[in-house]
Amino acid sequence: MIFETANAKLNLSLDTLYKRDDGFHEVDMVMTTIDLSDHLVFQKTNNHGTIHIEVDNRFVPTDKRNLVYQIIDYFIREFNLDAGVHVELTKRIPISAGMAGGSSDAAATLRGMNVLFNLGLSLEELANIGAQFGSDIPFCVYNRTARCTGRGEKIQHIANTPSCWAVIAKPNVGVSTKEVYDQFDVEIHQAKINNDKLVRALENKDYLEMVKHMGNDLELVTEQFVSEVKQFKETMINAGVDIAMMSGSGPTVFGLCQKERQANKVYNSIKGCCTDVYKVRVLG
Ligand code: ATP
C-alpha cells in the first residue's frame, strides 16, 4: 500500500505572453505549494488491468475523465503491468478553483505508481510523462516553488520562498481554464508582472519585495463573470493582507500575510462573506 500527498498550488504570478499556433498560451508564471492537500492510497489488486477509484466527493469523476485514472491506465499499458490498481482519493483541494487539484492528484499518481510497481523512474521522467496529460502536472511532480514557462511544463526551480501565510477564499462557482483563456485578449490584459524581479526576491527570501512583483493577468477576465473575485480581494485588503490576488484561472482568491496573527484576522473577516475559506502555510 502506498500513500501520497497531493498539495494544492498558488500562482504568485501568471503572465500570459501570446497564443501559440498549437492553441496553447505561452505563459511565464511562478507557482508555489501550500499546506492544503488531497490524499491518495494506492493498492495493487489481482484484477489485471482494472482501475478502481473511490473518492469522497460526488463532483469528481471516477472513470477515465479523472486524471488519476488516465495516468494509471497509461502505466498499465506502457509498462505491461500484470495487476489492477485500487485508489482511495480523499479530496480537500477545491475543484475547478485554479489550485491544480486534478494536476496534483495526477502527479501524486505518477509518484505512487512508480513506487508501487518499483519502476525506478526519476522525477524528471515522471514530469515528462505528466506533461502529456496536463501543463501543470510537471510542477506538481516536483512539488516546490518554481518558475514555469512554455505552456507551464518547463520548470526552473527556485531555491527559497519567504515564510508566509495564505488566506484562501473560493467563490461558490467553478471556472474552466479553457473558458477563461478563450476570453483572454493579450493586448488588453497586460498586468505589470516582473518575473525576473519576483524570482530574485524569492531567492533573497525578501517577502516585501516579493509581494511588489506578484500579479495575475487572467484576473481581469475571470472577475467579469465571477463578481466575488473583486469583492473577496477588497475584503482581504481591508482586513490587512499584503497582497490579494487570484490563483491560476481562478476563481479562488488568496491573500498573503507575513504573520499568522494577521492571517487569523483576515480569515475571520472573509469568513463572513465566503463559505469556502482556508488559512494555510505557504510551503515553498
Ligand atoms: P488548474 O489550476 O490546474 O487549472 P483547476 O483547479 O482549475 O486546475 P481541477 O480541480 O483540477 O481544476 O478540476 C478541473 C476538472 O478536472 C474538473 O471538472 C474535474 O471533473 C476534472 N478532474 C479530473 N481529475 C480530477 C481529480 N483528480 N480531481 C478533481 N477534478 C478532476
Note the pLDDT tens digit of each residue in 43-90. Answer: 999 999 999 999 999 999 999 999 999 999 999 999 999 999 999 999
Rounded mean pLDDT of 216-233?
Answer: 94
Residue ranges of domains in the chain: 2-157, 165-281
SS (H, E, C) the chain: CEEEEEEEEEEEEEEEEEECCCCCEEEEEEEEEEEEEEEEEEEEECCCCCEEEEECCCCCCCCCCCHHHHHHHHHHHHCCCCCEEEEEEECCCCCCCCCCHHHHHHHHHHHHHHHHCCCCCCHHHHHHHHHCCCCCHHHHHHCCCEEEECCCCEEEECCCCCCCEEEEECCCCCCCHHHHHHHCCCCCCCCCCCHHHHHHHHHCCCHHHHHHCCEECCHHHHHHHCCHHHHHHHHHHHCCCCEEEECCCCCCEEEEECCHHHHHHHHHHHHCCCCCEEEEEECC
Average pLDDT for 106-117: 98
Ligand 1, atom nearest to 248 Cα: 2
The residue nearest atom 28 of ligand 1, judged by CA position, is 102
Catalytic residues: 9, 136
Say how many Å lie between the CA of residue 188 and the centre of ligand 1. 28
248 lines ligand 1 (CB under 6 A): yes
Q: Whose CA is nearest to atom 5 of ligand 1?
A: 96
Decide: 251 in ligand 1 pocket, CB within 6 A. Answer: no
Measured from the CB, is residue 68 less than 6 Å from ligand 1?
A: yes
Region label for 163, one of left (φ > 0), alpha (ψ between -120 and 50) or beta (otherwise): beta
With bands split at pLDDT 50, 70 and 90, how would you rate the model's confidence at 187? Answer: low
Q: Is 95 annotated as a binding residue?
A: yes
- Collapsed DSSP state (helix, strand, coil) of residue 90: strand
The reported pLDDT for the residue numbered 185 is 79
What is the best residue among 16, 31, 42, 66 to mutate for testing ligand 1's pocket, by most ligand atoms within 8 Å of CB?
A: 66
Core vs surface per residue 23-58: b (16+ CB within 10 A) or e: eebebbbbbbbbebbbbbebeeeeeeeebebebeee
**Is the pLDDT reported for residue 191 higher than 90?**
no
Q: Kindly give the distance from the C-alpha atom of residue 100 to the centroid of ligand 1, in angstroms, as a whole number.
A: 7
Do you know the residue count of the chain?
284
pLDDT, position 188? 67
pLDDT at 276 over 90: yes
Euclidean distance between CA atoms 275 and 94, whole angstroms:
12
Q: Is the CB of 99 inside a 6 Å radius of any atom of ligand 1? A: yes
pLDDT 10s digits, 124-138: 999 999 999 999 999
Q: Is 100 annotated as a binding residue?
A: yes
pLDDT band at 184 (very low <50, low <70, confident <90, very high): confident
In the reported structure, the alpha carbon of residue 249 is separated from the centroid of ligand 1 by a whole-number distance in angstroms of 12
Q: Whose CA is nearest to atom 20 of ligand 1?
A: 60
pTM: 0.95
- For residue 192, what pLDDT band results from cuts at 50, 70 and 90? confident
Domain 2-157 listed as CATH 3.30.230.10: yes
In this predicted model, what pLDDT tens digit does every residue of 14-47 receive, in sequence order? 999 989 999 999 999 999 999 999 999 999 999 9
Encoded amino acid at 246, one letter: M
CA–CA dist 21, 28 (Å, integer) = 17
pLDDT, averaged across the chain: 95
CATH class in words for 165-281: alpha beta
Residue 25 confidence (pLDDT): 92
Annotated binding residue at 99? yes
Ligand 1 pocket, residue 210 CB under 6 Å: no
**What is the position in ligand 1's atom list of the atom closest to the CA of 106?**
27
200 CA → ligand 1 middle, Å: 31
Evaluate whether 170 touches 251 at the Cβ level (below 8 Å).
yes
Q: Is 14 in the pocket of ligand 1 (CB under 6 A)?
A: no
Residue 6 makes CB contacts below 8 A (sequence gap 6+) with 37, 38, 39, 40, 93, 101, 104, 105, 107, 108, 140
